[in-house]
Chain A
Amino acid sequence: MSVKIKHFPGEEIETKDFREGKVLFESFRSKARYAWSAGIAVSRFLEELKNGRILASTCSKCGRIMVPPRIYCEKCFKPTDGWTYVKDTGIINTFSVSFIAADASRLKEPVVVAVIELDDASPGMGIVHWLGEYGDWREIKIGMRVQAVWKPPEERTGAITDIKYFKPLKE
Chain B
Amino acid sequence: MDMFGKKRVAIVGAGVTLFRRNLKETGKELAYHAAKMALEQAGMELRDIQSVVMGSAPDAFDGVHMKGEYLADGAGAYHKPYMRVFVGGGTGVFAPIAGWWHVASGQFDTCLVVCEEKMSSCYPHPQYAFTTIFDPILERPIGMNLIWIFALEMNRYMHKHNIKKEDIALVSVKNKRNALDNPIAQLGANITVEDVLNSEIMAWPVQRLDVSPTSDGAAAVVLVSEDVAKEVTDNPIWIDGVGWCIDSTHWTNRDLYYPDYVEYAARMAYKMAGIKNPPKEIDVAEPYDPFDYKELHHMEGLLLCKKGEAPKLTKEGVTQRDGDLPICPSGGLLGCGNPIAAAGLMKVCEIFWQLRGEAGKRQVPGDPRTGLAQAWGDLMQYGSVIVLRR
Q: Report A14-51 residues with CB < 8 Å from chain B CB.
A: 14, 25, 28, 34, 36, 38-39, 42, 46
Say whether A2 contacts B127, CB under 8 Å: no
Would A8 and B253 be within 8 Å (CB), given that A36-B137, A94-B152, A99-B201 are in contact? no
A73 to chain B, nearest CB (A): 11
Q: Is A66 an interface residue (CB 8 A)?
A: yes
Q: Which of B24, B131, B152 contacts A95 (CB 8 A)?
A: B152
Q: Is B190 an interface residue (CB 8 A)?
A: no
Q: Is B173 an interface residue (CB 8 A)?
A: no
Would A160 and B18 be within 8 Å (CB), given that A3-B358, A10-B25, A96-B203 are in contact? no
A-contacting 9-mer, from B69-77, B143-151, B259-267: B143-151
List, in ascending order, chain A residues with CB within 8 A of B216's CB. Answer: 10
A124 to chain B, nearest CB (A): 6
Say whether B20 contacts A12, CB under 8 Å: yes
A148 to chain B, nearest CB (A): 14
Q: Report B25-52 residues with CB < 8 Å from chain A CB.
A: 25, 30, 33, 37, 41
Would A42 and B138 be within 8 Å (CB), given that A1-B184, A10-B17, A137-B204 are in contact? yes
Say whether A2 contacts B353, CB under 8 Å: yes
Would A115 and B24 be within 8 Å (CB), given that A10-B217, A96-B206, A102-B127 are in contact? no
Q: Kindly state the separation between the CA atoms of A12 and B159 in the bound complex, as whole angstroms.
A: 41
Say whether B14 contacts A124, CB under 8 Å: no
List, in ascending order, chain A residues with CB within 8 A of B147's CB. Answer: 98, 100, 104
Say whether B204 contacts A96, CB under 8 Å: yes
Task: Write the chain B residue with the least CB distance to A23.
Answer: B22
Say whether A8 contacts B183, CB under 8 Å: yes
How many chain-A residues does the 8 Å CB contact rule pick out? 54
Say whether B137 contacts A160, CB under 8 Å: yes
List, in ascending order, chain B residues with CB within 8 A of A129's CB. Answer: 142
List, in ascending order, chain A residues with CB within 8 A of B14's CB. Answer: 2
Q: Kindly state the separation between the CA atoms of A8 and B17 in the bound complex, as whole angstroms.
A: 5
Task: Write the chain A residue with the least CB distance to B151.
Answer: A96
Question: Could you give, for residues 186-201 of chain B, a 1 whenever the CB lies within 8 Å of some chain A CB and a 0 otherwise?
Answer: 0000000000000011
Would A128 and B155 be within 8 Å (CB), given that A42-B137, A137-B204 are in contact? no
Say whether B128 contacts A102, CB under 8 Å: yes
Q: Is B23 an interface residue (CB 8 A)?
A: yes
Say whether B138 contacts A13, CB under 8 Å: no
Q: Report B230-264 residues with CB < 8 Å from chain A CB.
A: 248, 250, 252-256
Would A8 and B16 be within 8 Å (CB), given that A93-B156, A97-B203 are in contact? yes
Task: Write the chain B residue with the least CB distance to A9.
Answer: B33
A158 to chain B, nearest CB (A): 10
Q: Is B66 an interface residue (CB 8 A)?
A: no
Would A127 and B144 be within 8 Å (CB), given that A66-B253, A98-B151 are in contact? no
A68 to chain B, nearest CB (A): 6
Q: Is A5 an interface residue (CB 8 A)?
A: yes
Q: Is B139 an interface residue (CB 8 A)?
A: yes
Q: Is B318 an interface residue (CB 8 A)?
A: no
Say whether A9 contacts B125, CB under 8 Å: no
Say whether A2 contacts B41, CB under 8 Å: yes
Would A142 and B156 be within 8 Å (CB), given that A12-B20, A124-B254 are in contact? yes
Task: Write the chain A residue with the least CB distance to B330.
Answer: A1
A101 to chain B, nearest CB (A): 7
Would A34 and B253 be within 8 Å (CB), given that A98-B151, A102-B128 are in contact? no
Task: Write the chain A residue with the least CB distance to B147.
Answer: A100
Say whether B18 contacts A126, CB under 8 Å: no
Q: Kindly state the separation between the CA atoms of A13 and B118 in the bound complex, as whole angstroms.
A: 13
Q: Kindly state the separation between the CA atoms of A11 and B152 in the bound complex, as whole angstroms.
A: 37
Q: Kindly state the separation between the CA atoms of A127 and B134 in the bound complex, as whole angstroms.
A: 13
Task: Write the chain A residue with the least CB distance to B346.
Answer: A1
Q: Is B366 an interface residue (CB 8 A)?
A: no
Say whether A8 contacts B184, CB under 8 Å: yes
List, in ascending order, chain A residues with CB within 8 A of B128's CB. Answer: 102-104
Q: Is A71 an interface residue (CB 8 A)?
A: no
Task: Write the chain B residue with the least CB distance to A36.
Answer: B136
A27 to chain B, nearest CB (A): 8
List, in ascending order, chain B residues with CB within 8 A of A115's CB. Answer: 152, 252, 256
Say whether B142 contacts A1, CB under 8 Å: no
Q: Is A111 an interface residue (CB 8 A)?
A: yes
Say whether B143 contacts A9, CB under 8 Å: no
Task: Write the chain A residue with the least CB distance to B183.
Answer: A8
Say whether A113 contacts B33, CB under 8 Å: no
Say whether B127 contacts A104, CB under 8 Å: yes
Q: Is A149 an interface residue (CB 8 A)?
A: no
A-B contact pairs, 13 of them (CB 8 A): A1-B16, A3-B360, A8-B17, A8-B18, A10-B25, A96-B152, A98-B147, A99-B200, A99-B201, A104-B128, A104-B145, A127-B138, A160-B141
Interface residues of A (CB under 8 A from B): 1-5, 8-14, 25, 28, 34, 36, 38-39, 42, 46, 66-68, 70, 74, 93-104, 110-111, 113-115, 124-130, 137, 142, 159-161
Known A9-B25, A34-B136, A104-B124; 4 more pairs at CB < 8 Å? A2-B41, A9-B18, A115-B256, A161-B141
